[in-house]
Amino acid sequence: MPRLVLASGSRSRRQLLDRLELPYAWQSPDIDETPRPGESPSALVHRLALGKAQQLADQWPDHLIIGSDQVAQFDGEALGKPADTTAARQQLARFSGNRVRFLTGLALLDTRSGRHRVCHETYDVVFRTLTDNEIAHYIEREQPLECAGSFRMEGLGITLFERLEGDDPNTLIGLPLIRLCALLREAGLDPLGET
């Protein structure tokens, strides 16, 4: 039985975690992701990442549970997943020609000891100037409604950018693997250790 649990229903996060070649289970937590009044983007992703892991804690004793959440920060506002294609078009139109910072919260909860670590990673995206037609075609083809910022970097979304800036490109997809590996090692689970 795997000792590791991913608290996410995201296919992209599962594909990233698969790269570590560790056995794990996954389950989608059910939490309210509504930002609290005055909550900063970093506080929001910390709270949601940890909340997702904690929501599964009773069902997974003696496990390490990974929680993660992401928001786009633009013009002083935290933006999550678009509600529909109209909202996705509006987000991408706002981002056109601009820099957008993505914050990805990461939590690792050890249900055996009750200890947890929470952090976040940032990644900046500089969008090229996009036409309304390009935005409409992109959304029609990729349907990125489950993604903060209304794009999938691992797919056709790469065509929207002028450049990317950050330490770990996996952060932008939704699971900062470099930081996750460090947290796993601290918790006694080395991805390169003996299996």
Reported as a single tens digit per residue, the pLDDT across 127-168 is 999 999 999 999 999 999 988 899 988 889 999 999 999 999
Per-residue pLDDT, 143? 93
Whole-structure pTM value: 0.91
Q: CATH for 4-186? A: 3.90.950.10
Q: Which of 30, 69, 132, 190 is catalytic?
A: 69
Per-residue pLDDT, 154? 85
- The DSSP bridge partners found for residue 78 are 73
Q: Which residues of the chain have pLDDT under 50?
A: none
Q: Give the C-alpha separation, 51 to 29, whole Å.
A: 9
DSSP letter, residue 110: E
Give catalytic status of residue 132 as yes or no.
no
Per-residue pLDDT, 195? 54
